[in-house]
A and B are shown apart, each in its own frame.
Chain A
Amino acid sequence: MAAPKILVVTGNGFNCERETAYAFDMNGGNSDIYNMNYIIEGDIKLSGYQILAFVGGFSYGDHLGGGKVAAVKFRNNLKVELMEFVARDTLIIGICNGFQVLMQLGILPALNGEYFSVKLTLAPNNSKRYEDRWVQLKVNQSSNCIFTQKMDRIMLPVRHGEGKLFTPDIETFEKLLFNNQTALQYIDPENGDITEKYPYNPNGSFRGIAGICDPSGRIFGLMPHPEAYLSPYNNPDWTRLKYKNSVPEEGDGVQIFRNAVEYFQ
């Protein structure tokens, strides 16, 4: 089968477009990078793509909230096209700032398949600050998330100041857990248990939730950055692993993008 076409959305402060495009392409995908203005103004059509990637960064400087203004732009100019895209057999990934955009748009969590209804927010970290650190994560084996198939325990870097999955409405959380939409969770590296404890859970997210999917498993949003761990030499421990003959074959982020590409093959 032909390589799936991936649209990597950037511009206006998004900034992880190159490594994200490379992550798809190294797995046989065919990525285009476009400034979001080209998409909003109709020069580039979503209909030509199978995968849509909202990348990390600081869209509009995160002024007024992470992903907030980018979401305003998409909602006001591209809602119909996005609804059509979601209705097709397509995939969407939102990473960090891109995840915030998906949440602000209500494309996630889409409880009961209700897209464009805002149910959750990514609130400021309990630590009160932006942080860059590597975390250990566990994939929910009961989740149908396409992106996290064939994966179990991984490590990835987080780099955010607003990543705490939050709603005052506890029922929303219960539904999310019940549906196994919680695809990825922070764990304590000592015992492998899901954790709400700093720094293993860098933001205080409820039940250590780091990434969620929609009920269909085709839309995935996560705070950690899989596209920042593609080369095994991105691993912060590789100089030590080298002397235990256990430098990994590839970075833990690769499989997420491979799963996406393989979905279409």
Chain B
Amino acid sequence: MQYRVEVANRPDCRDVYGESVCTDIRKFLDLTVESVRSVFVYILDVPLDSSKKDDAVREVFVDPLTQDYSFNKLDTGKFDWCVEIGFKPGVTDSIGGTAREAISDILKVEFEQQQKVYSGKQYRLTAPEMTRESVLSLAEDFLGNTLIETIKVQSFDEWYNSKPDSALPKVKGTPDYRLEKIDLDIGDEELMALSRERSLSLSLEEMRSIKEYFARDEIIEMRKSSGIGDKATDVELESLAQTWSEHCKHKIFNCIIDYEEDGKKERIDSLFRTYIMSATKKIGEDVDWLLSVFKDNAGVIKFNDRINLVYKVETHNTPSALEPYGGALTGIVGVNRDPMGTGLGADLLFNVWGYCFGSPFYDKKMPSGLLHPNRIRENVHKGVIDGGNQSGIPYARGWEYFDERYIGKPLVFCGTVGSMPVSINGNPTHEKKIAPGDLIVMAGGRIGKDGIHGATFSSEELHEDSPIQAVQIGDPITQKKLYDFLIHARNLGLYSFVTDNGAGGLSSSVGEMAQSSGGCYMDLTNAPLKYQGLDPWEILISEAQERMSFAVPPENKDELFCLAEKYGVEVTVLGEFTNSGIFHVIHKDETVAYLDMEFLHDGLPQMELKARWIPPILIDPEFTTPKDITETLKNLLGRLNICSIEGKSRQYDHEVKGLNIIKPFIGVERDIPSDATVVIVEHGSTEGIILAEGKNPSYSDIDTYHMAASVIDEAVRRIISTGGTLDQAAGLDNFCWPDPVQSEKTPDGHYKLAQLVRANKALFDFTTAYNVPCISGKDSMKNDCILEGKKISIPPTLLFSVIAKMNDITKAVTMDIKLPGDLVYIAGETFDELGSSEYYRMVTEQDENITSAGKNVPKVDPEKALKLYRAIEKITGSELAHSIHTPTLGGLGVGFAKMVMAGGYGMEIDVSSIPTVKCSEPDKILFSESNSRFIITVAESDREAFETAMGDNTFSLIGTTTEKPELLIEDGSGNIIISSDIDGLRKSWKFTFKDFFDGSS
């Protein structure tokens, strides 16, 4: 029997959810909506006796104190429009899944797989001025997403006179499947057509290598004797395409580059090996704490004798562009699986997030096919919040960066820190090895058509019977169960190897695992499916979420299966690992793939590309500056890249686990982003870690070498300013680049690749200079979009994240001014290098006659910087600094403002005392973004000790802190150039997003 239930709050109980939607509609869309009533809709397609239906529905769906329900249309009074939104067939419906489990428990009946509960919602709008058309566009552009949801709009009369819609979004799969055999003895054009038609994303050269493999005599012989036949199967082609994808093989980072700069030519054999890996190797010769780098899902470093740390940062850009909520949710729960699948599996401790968006205030017409940046921002936040909060993992770092060039391709960075015991039952946890005969076990969610060819979104219209393929939607609770199970199984030593199923699905996970034993024999027949009708190649490469693959010694199978049942996790044996040298896959007793392991993993031909560096020609802007630059500072404080983003950040849990010491937001009003976050790893300990990051894509407009140097310096000096040291600090590199391969579509490919080369050169130079080795990284290389015929590429973006050990967290330092009457020092030099600074960018945006945002990008002198950092390490080690802040965007001016806002005390500063090099105008001194600088406050009584510890590093006493909550800056000749009370600064700083967060009602 099938039932449709509607649930809504009773009239005497506030419908906060409906109110919230109404507020958002008014705020973001400027539409006249009087009110919104929210109604929850459930369709029960489970065997439920009509005598029990009321009890079951009341118990599962209704809050008896506040809600009403109906098996028909629920009367909530008159309204104008009803928008009903439900999931399309095959889209993950977590709420429906939970309801099904609850009803099953009440009835004590196990349901069949196809017996389900479906969830949906209704918004009943009182909006007499709105037309059907405007409601429809509200529904499609704001309330729902047609990519994954069905949307129905009815007027009140239509709603009143029609029957409620009980259609089920069921996938009508049939048990049929197809196996195709493909003749590869074809010409180049046909090879490329094959690559395109099947969305293999393989180049001609790669297709040729595959053709050549299948034509080898010994391969033909081997294939004949195995029974698969000489032709390639679709399963094999798809496996190769996944294994050889840019995502898995990092082809651009591993290609040969002919690089030219200043007439000098150089041949680089793999950026990754030449600059990243070799830097880590070089540093690794002198340190003993690098345990597992670049080979597993995340890097592993030593923390203490009991614990190792694991860290990985990923991006999830394209999915977030199309379905921001689902894409970002998948991004965060997906990166959780990297530490879970590192070594024998890590405990998850902290998340980090960071986003690059177009301006949420973008007011030009959006090109079709693109979502408005504000919608992307709202929903990306929501996705990461839900993913992090529901997994019980606090966030440690969070940031946003805005530039119009991210309008076509937002960047969504998500990262996770984990920890694992150094060893379990005597076995080191950061190593893993599969023995032939170990079983292939998949655990977690079921397989559907989710995320097949995730990278190449099909524009095909989705119809009722076609399950969504493009976007996977994460289900944090399914993954939480899987995680709880994994940790218990790890502690019992039940498996020998674990890895996550991400991009490329089983093809990639089992394919990579098979390298450990030397082969595999995988049977897809028993793979658990969400619905029927998947071809074997689809089962193999599906990117359905919340799955991990394990290698399990046969003697542990029963215990593992019992444990999984206890945790409500589905586990399936899919064959066994072998040492046959063959990636062998069967389906319904038929061999569907029989590939030589060596060819599968190492047969990819190396790409060769050209890169040529020609520096852009830029000039510094010319403009007049007023004497009093208070307004300039306030305008800077309100800029998107500097202003307060506290509102959104507060919706993320950063306290769960109780390990947080210096939080992501600090100060008397807990609203100022900290330079770095300090956390402990074990309860009751004072040994901890510091997390920080650097990013500054706008510097790429001048030179990516100095962009990368600045970004690494920023991350490193944030650690230093928080009281950390570089004794045990590791880095993570995340490159997000526009397509750097020269082609018709990318006529500036040589330049973009040269930008990549230069960033990598800096990465080598500065990680080795600071002794901060990269332990893990990720690249995303095709971040472009075509906007009304014009290509828009993101600015080359490098996120550099650092994790540093802190021996005593009680010595951590924050930027908030602690006491009045302290001395204010500046350490480090200020240069006239405001190119691409927030100040020059603001000036450029304000004056259409100014066309260039400057030519001098901030540079880093690593020797001077390191010497200064060592001095600050001593100062914080002996607790001589009351507060430290390292300025970033907006320079010292913004830095002073943040320090006074954070502490609630004022500052009096003499700008002429700031140590400068060829930089004399006060506005330039205050807003230059020169690297390697600190603002430090010190007790008068510690003056001598502090100055002695600073030695011959550049520093200067520039003022004092004051009881009066006011920032006063004078020019050295007695003229006040900046004067504002703290409230005035805070007002400007919070003004930008004030409408986005008013929790008051």
Q: Which residues of A contact B (CB under 8 A)?
A: 10-16, 18-19, 22, 26, 35, 37-38, 41, 43, 56-58, 60-65, 68-69, 72-73, 75-77, 118-121, 123-134, 157, 159, 166-169, 198-199, 225, 227-231, 233-234, 236-237, 239-240, 242-243
Q: A199-B999, A230-B683, A234-B658 are in contact. Are A64 and B650 (CB under 8 A)?
A: no
- Give bound CA distance, A16 to B319, whole Å: 31
Q: A126 to B903: give the CA distance in the assembly, Å.
A: 30
Which residues of chain B (60-83) have a CB below 8 Å from chain A?
A: 60-61, 63-66
Contact B392 A233 (CB under 8 A): no
The residues of A that contact B656 with a CB separation of less than 8 Å are: 15-16, 56-57, 159, 225, 228
Question: Are A64's CB and B12's CB within 8 A?
Answer: no
Residues of chain A with a CB closer than 8 A to B661's CB:
231, 233-234
Nearest chain A residue, comparing its CB with the CB of B682? A22
Are B98 and A132 in contact, CB atoms less than 8 angstroms apart? Answer: no
| B residues lining the A interface (CB < 8 Å) | 10, 12-14, 16-17, 19-20, 23, 59-61, 63-66, 94-95, 98-99, 101-102, 105-106, 385, 389-392, 475-477, 480-481, 484, 566-568, 650-663, 666, 668, 670, 680, 683-684, 686, 809-810, 812-814, 816, 818-819, 882, 903, 999-1001
A/B interface sample: 16 pairs, CB < 8 A: A13-B476, A13-B477, A13-B480, A14-B392, A19-B683, A35-B567, A58-B389, A60-B98, A60-B477, A69-B60, A125-B16, A127-B1000, A128-B20, A129-B999, A169-B65, A233-B809
CB atoms of B94 and A239 under 8 A apart = no
Q: In the complex, which residues of chain A have a beta carbon less than 8 angstroms from the beta carbon of B568?
A: 12, 37
* Assembly CA distance A128 to B998 (angstroms): 10
Q: Nearest residue in A to B814 (C-beta to C-beta)? A: A239
State whether A243 touches B653 (Cβ < 8 A).
no
Q: How far is the CA of A143 from the CA of B816 in the complex (A)?
A: 39
Minimum Cβ distance to chain A for residue B871 (Å): 21
B651 touches A239 (CB 8 A): no
Taking CB as reference atom, which chain B residue is nearest A126? Answer: B1001
Contact A239-B812, Cβ < 8 Å, known A15-B392, A126-B1001: yes
Determine how close the nearest CB of chain A comes to the CB of B55; give it in whole angstroms. 11
| Bound complex: CA A199 to CA B1001 (Å) | 10
CA gap between A230 and B882 in the complex, in Å = 25
Compute how far the CA of A37 lies from the CA of B94 in the bound complex, rounded to whole angstroms.
Answer: 20
Give, as a whole number of angstroms, the nearest-CB distance from B177 to chain A. 33
Tell me how far the C-beta of B931 lies from the nearest C-beta in chain A, rounded to whole angstroms: 25
Decide if B903 touches A240 in the complex (CB within 8 Å): yes
Neighbour of B657 across the interface among A13, A19, A65, CB < 8 A: A19
Chain A residues within 8 Å of B385, by CB: 130
Q: Is the CB of A168 within 8 A of B882?
A: no
Contact B683 A22 (CB under 8 A): yes
Q: Which DSSP category, helix, strand, loop or mixed, fits chain A's interface? A: mixed
Q: Indicate the member of A12, A16, A169, A237 with the most B CB atoms within 10 Å.
A: A12
Residues of A within 8 A of B655 (CB): 132, 157, 159, 225, 228, 234
Q: A242 — which chain B residues lie within 8 A by C-beta?
A: 818
Q: Which of A26, A65, A228 lies in contact with B63, CB distance below 8 A?
A: A65
B417 → chain A closest CB, angstroms: 16
New A-B pairs, 20, CB < 8 Å, besides A58-B389, A76-B105: A18-B657, A60-B477, A61-B476, A63-B94, A72-B60, A72-B106, A118-B64, A119-B65, A124-B16, A126-B16, A128-B19, A129-B20, A132-B652, A229-B658, A231-B680, A233-B809, A236-B666, A239-B813, A240-B818, A243-B819
Beta-carbon nearest neighbor of B16 in chain A: A124
Contact of A233 among B59, B657, B686, B882 (CB under 8 A): B686
Q: How far is the CB of B819 from chain A (nearest CB, A)?
A: 6
- Residues in B with CB closer than 8 Å to A120 are 65
Do B810 and A233 touch (CB < 8 A)? yes
Contact of B102 among A18, A64, A227, A231 (CB under 8 A): A64
Expressed in whole angstroms, the Cα–Cα distance for A10 and B809 within the complex equals: 30
- CB-CB nearest 10 A-B residue pairs: A15-B392, A127-B999, A128-B20, A19-B658, A63-B98, A124-B16, A61-B477, A58-B390, A22-B683, A63-B95
A128–B23 touching, CB < 8 Å: yes
Contacts of A230 in B (CB 8 A): 658, 683-684
CA distance A18 to B814 in the complex (A): 28
The smallest C-beta distance from A181 to any residue of chain B, in angstroms, reads: 17
Q: Smallest CB–CB gap between A255 and chain B, Å?
A: 15
A168 touches B653 (CB 8 A): no
Question: Once the chains are docked, how many angstroms separate the CA of A89 from the CA of B298?
Answer: 49
Q: Which residues of B contact A236 (CB under 8 A)?
A: 663, 666, 670
Kindly identify which residue among B105, B484, B809 contacts A77, using a CB–CB cutoff of 8 Å: B105
Greatest chain B CB density within 10 A among A26, A35, A123, A240 is at: A240
- Complex Cα gap A41–B16 (Å): 37
**Cβ contact within 8 Å between A243 and B686:** no
Closest CB-CB distance, B10 to chain A, in whole Å? 7
Return A60 CB to nearest CB of chain B, in Å: 5
Residue in B59, B567, B1001 whose CB lies within 8 Å of A11 = B567
Q: Nearest residue in B to A167 (C-beta to C-beta)?
A: B65
> In the complex, which residues of chain B have a beta carbon less than 8 angstroms from the beta carbon of A43?
566
Closest to B19 in A: A128
Contact indicator A128/B16 (Cβ below 8 Å): yes
Measured CB to CB, the nearest residue on chain A to B15 is A124
Q: Smallest distance from the beta carbon of A242 to chain B beta carbons, Å?
A: 8
Contacts of A10 in B (CB 8 A): 484
* Across-interface contacts of B651 in A (CB, < 8 A): 129-132
Q: Are B650 and A131 in contact (CB under 8 A)?
A: yes
Q: Is the CB of B101 within 8 A of A22?
A: no
| Residue of A11, A14, A77 with most partner-chain B CB within 10 A | A11
Kindly list chain A residues whose C-beta atoms are within 8 Å of the C-beta of B566.
35, 37-38, 41, 43
Our pick among B16, B98, B658 for the contact of A231 (Cβ within 8 Å) is: B658
Contact check, B23 vs A58: say whether CB atoms are below 8 A apart: no
CA distance A168 to B16 in the complex (A): 15
Please, how many angstroms separate the alpha-carbon atoms of A61 and B99 in the complex?
11
Which among B389, B670, B903 has the greatest number of chain A C-beta atoms within 10 A? Answer: B389
Q: How far apart are the CA atoms of A132 and B397 in the complex, in Å? A: 15
A252 to chain B, nearest CB (A): 12
Look across to chain B and name the residue whose beta carbon is closest to the beta carbon of A65: B63
Assess whether A11 is in contact with B481, with CB atoms less than 8 Å apart: yes
- B683 is contacted by which of A18, A73, A169 (Cβ under 8 Å)? A18
Residue among A132, A230, A236, A242 facing the most chain B CB atoms (10 A cut-off) = A132
Residues of A within 8 Å of B19, CB to CB, are: 128
* In the complex, chain B residues whose CB is within 8 Å of the CB of A19: 657-659, 683
Judge whether A168 and B65 touch: CB under 8 Å: yes
| Complexed CA–CA distance, A157 and B484 (Å) | 25
Please give the distance in Å from A6's CB to the nearest CB on chain B.
15
**B98 and A61 form a contact (CB under 8 A):** yes
Given A61-B98, A72-B106, A126-B1001, check contact A166 B663 (CB 8 Å): no
A131 and B999 contact, Cβ closer than 8 Å, known pairs A60-B477, A123-B66: yes
A198 contacts across to B, CB distance below 8 A: 999-1001
Which residue of the partner chain B has the closest CB to A70? B102
Distance from B659 Cβ to chain A, minimum over Cβ atoms (Å): 8
Q: Determine which of B12, B481, B818 lies in contact with A239 in the assembled complex, contact meaning CB atoms within 8 Å.
A: B818
Q: Which residues of A contact B683 (CB under 8 A)?
A: 18-19, 22, 26, 230-231
Would you call A58 and B392 a contact (CB within 8 A)?
yes
Residues of A within 8 A of B658 (CB): 19, 22, 225, 227-231, 234
Complex CA gap A236/B484 in Å reads 30
A36 to chain B, nearest CB (A): 10
Give the contacting residue for A64; candidates B23, B61, B812, B1001; CB below 8 A: B61
Q: Give Cα distance in the complex from A229 to B683, angstroms.
A: 11
Taken together as a complex, chains A and B put the C-alpha atoms of A252 and B528 apart, in Å, by 49
CA distance A13 to B567 in the complex (A): 11
CB contacts (< 8 Å) of A26 on chain B: these are 683-684
Is B12 a contact partner of A11 (Cβ separation < 8 A)?
no
User: What residues of chain B lie closer than 8 Å to A76, measured between beta carbons?
Assistant: 105-106
**Cβ of A121 and Cβ of B567 under 8 Å apart?**
no
Q: Which residues of B contact A11 (CB under 8 A)?
A: 481, 484, 567
* Assembled-state Cα–Cα distance A69/B62 (Å): 11
Q: Which residues of A contact B1000 (CB under 8 A)?
A: 127, 198
